[in-house]
């Protein structure tokens, strides 16, 4: 179990926010290597905590969300479908058919802050470790 530098505690769960940038798949691999996975957001409280943090961090971050299996069917990295969602209005839009199959949080002021983006985009990421 990792409780070392770089992990922060929100509501009983440990999160790791990267300081460098990677594609979605490399980000996921980094989390798995750390004994965790990309973050799964399944409550409003969790979304609010993460978004409040990211407002200061001001970086785009990958979350554990993808529709790579079936276009338009969004799933978390544990294979579950969304129980609650926080898409930016107008998203997900698979922008200009650019194969936007991976989910990120953008740091806009609104609570709804998820966007679908191309998986090879290099941004920061957040891992989550179950308690």
Residues found near ligand 2F8 in the complex (CB under 6 A): 91, 93, 95, 100, 115-118, 121
Of the pair 57, 87, the CB lying nearest ligand 2F8 is at 87
Q: Which does 18 bind (CB under 5 to 8 A by kind): Ca ion, ligand 2F8, none?
A: none
**Cβ-contact 72, 33 below 8 angstroms:** no
How far is CA 129 from each of CA 8, 11, 32, 63, rounded to the nearest angstrom? Answer: 10, 12, 10, 13
Which residue's CB is nearer to ligand 2F8, number 30 or number 99? 99
Element of type H or E holding 25 = helix 24-33
Tokens of 126: 């957040």
Least Cβ distance, residue 100 to Ca ion (angstroms): 5
Closer residue to ligand 2F8, CB minimum distance, 52 or 93: 93
> Of these partners, Ca ion, ligand 2F8, none, which one is at the site of residue 121 (CB under 5 to 8 Å by kind)?
ligand 2F8
- Cα dihedral 100→23→108→13 (10° resolution): 110
């Amino acid at each position: 179990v990792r409780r070392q530098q770089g992990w922060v505690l929100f509501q009983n769960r440990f999160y790791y926010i990267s300081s460098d940038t990677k594609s979605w798949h490399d980000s996921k691999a980094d989390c798995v290597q750390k004994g965790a996975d990309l973050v799964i957001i399944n409550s409003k409280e969790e979304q609010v905590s993460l978004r409040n943090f990211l407002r200061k961090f001001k970086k785009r971050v990958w979350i554990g969300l993808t529709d790579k299996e079936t276009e338009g069917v969004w799933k978390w990295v544990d294979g579950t479908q969304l129980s609650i969602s926080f898409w930016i209005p107008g998203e997900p839009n698979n922008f200009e058919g650019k194969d936007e199959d991976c989910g990120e949080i953008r740091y806009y002021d609104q609570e709804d802050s998820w966007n679908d983006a191309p998986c090879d985009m290099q941004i920061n990421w957040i891992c989550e470790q179950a308690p």
